Structures are given as C-alpha cells and as structure tokens.
Amino acid sequence: GAGVSQSPSNKVTEKGKDVELRCDPISGHTALYWYRQSLGQGLEFLIYFQGNSAPDKSGLPSDRFSAERTGGSVSTLTIQRTQQEDSAVYLCASSLKPGSGGPNSPLHFGNGTRLTVT
Amino acid sequence: QKEVEQNSGPLSVPEGAIASLNCTYSDRGSQSFFWYRQYSGKSPELIMFIYSNGDKEDGRFTAQLNKASQYVSLLIRDSQPSDSATYLCAVQETSGSRLTFGEGTQLTVNP
C-alpha cells in the first residue's frame, strides 16, 4: 500500500479482555516499530523489528504485552488482560533498513489505533 | 536524566516570527536526528532529518546539530498559524535500532 496501515482505528474493550492490534507496513520497509502515546504525552517506545534479527523488546511495559511479525511484513501487537492504564493511541511505523554502518531511515507512521479500556 | 529532552512548552510566537525549538540528548554516540510535527489527533509526520554537524535548511525550516554539545534544534522562519502543532525531537541510539522521542514542544503561532 501507499502508507502504513493500522487496524482497527478505534478499539473499546472491557478491563481484563485481550486485544490484538494490526500493522501493515509500507512495502519494502524492513524495519517496523510500535510506540504508545498517552493523551498529551510523548511517544513511548514498545518494540522494534528489523528484518530477520531478534526484535528489540526492551520497551514492552509488562509481560501482558507481546508482538510478532509474520513473514517480515504484517505485525500484530497483543495486549492480554487489558488494564485501564493501557488506554492510549498505539502507533506503528516502518522504515527502510539503514545502510551498513549508516543511520536509520526516517520513520513513516500509520494513523494509529486508539485503545480505550473501560 | 531523560534520554531526549526538549525545551518545555508551550511556546507561543506571533505570525512571521522565528520559532526556536531545542532538544538535548544523553547518548553521545547517537547518529541520526529527526524532527517530527504532530497536529492534534494526528500521527507524527517527518519534517526534517539531520546526520552531520552544522545546519540543514529546507524551505522555512532549519535544523542545527552540535554533537559535541549534544543538542539539536529546529528553527522555523516566518512562522505561520498552520505551523501550530507539537514538535517531536527523535534520536537514533547508537545501536541503530530504537528511535527515542522527546516529550514534544507545543508551538502556537498567533495571527
């Protein structure tokens, strides 16, 4: 597609339920990122995938959060047993693989999934 | 100390003035620096990136990087009301993986 696609755009769930958020990156982009943005706050890094390398999961806030990327393309972020503090906008971004020894390419963001836990 | 810090806002400037946005970072080995603009309720969009010390100009925008002092700034000349948004500074960590964002500075350009 032309841009990063995220679904659903909005998700309302009850506390304790599991949710899955989907991200379809720009074709040819090997790097994929998940960030979380609470109201009025900056972007909180969650996880980063680069090609076939082991993902950088250092930003995941708890073991209720997990993410996978199948076939080096689509990614799914799963939040188990959701809590009210999980309410936020979840942003996915993709970029080209940086050149060997070179800097990252700029990120292209999707429109985000607004998650509300009631 | 936060990894990426931006000057506290909100920042308000009159139309036509120069808006100056500042950002400092803690990882001395950082290589890539980005400025994103985020309108309320929208996703961030890239406006500038800079990799080398010095200035980089693109239209009304100038990014300035000083690696020795570990700061990067964004100047917006001839500010317009349409520039009113939150500006996010982002820094690539040495590992070349995670991109770390600052908290953002909210800019308001008054007509």
User: In angstroms, what separates the C-alpha of A58 from chain B's closest C-alpha?
Assistant: 9
Give the whole-angstrom CA distance, residue B61 versus residue B77.
Answer: 6
User: In angstroms, what separates the C-alpha of A10 from chain B's closest C-alpha?
Assistant: 13
Judge: A104–B100 Cβ closer than 8 Å, yes or no.
no
Residues 6+ apart with CB under 8 A from B41: none
Per-residue model confidence (pLDDT) at position B30: 86
For residue A100, name the pLDDT band (cuts at 50, 70, 90).
very low
B103 to chain A: closest CA residue:
A42
Least confident window among A16-20, A49-53, B16-20, B87-91: A49-53
Which of A5, A104, A113 should be substituted to probe chain B, the one whose Cβ sees the most B Cβ atoms within 10 Å?
A: A104
Per-residue model confidence (pLDDT) at position B1: 60
Per-residue model confidence (pLDDT) at position A101: 43
Judge: A107–B103 Cβ closer than 8 Å, yes or no.
no
Judge: B92–A45 Cβ closer than 8 Å, yes or no.
no
Q: Which residues of B touch A45 (CB under 8 A)?
A: 98-101
Give the whole-angstrom CA distance, residue B53 versus residue B21.
Answer: 17
User: In angstroms, what separates the C-alpha of A112 from chain B's closest C-alpha?
Assistant: 7
Give the closest of A91, A104, A111 to B96, CB-based.
A104
Phi, psi of B73, rounded to the nearest 5 degrees:
-130, 165
What pLDDT, in 10s, does the model give residues A106-116? 889 999 999 99
Q: Does A107 touch chain B (CB under 8 A)?
A: yes
Which of B51, B87, B98 should be substituted to probe chain A, the one whose Cβ sees the most A Cβ atoms within 10 Å?
A: B98
Q: Does A45 touch chain B (CB under 8 A)?
A: yes
Least confident window among A10-19, A29-38, A92-101, B87-96: A92-101
Q: What is the DSSP string of chain B?
A: --SEEE--S-EEEETTSPEEEEEEES-TT---EEEEEE-TTS--EEEEEE-SSEEEEETTEEEEEETTTTEEEEEESS--GGG-EEEEEEEE-TTSS-EEE---EEEEEE-
What pLDDT, in 10s, does the model give residues A1-47? 579 999 999 999 999 999 999 999 999 888 899 999 998 888 999 99
For residue B51, name the pLDDT band (cuts at 50, 70, 90).
confident
Judge: B43–A106 Cβ closer than 8 Å, yes or no.
no
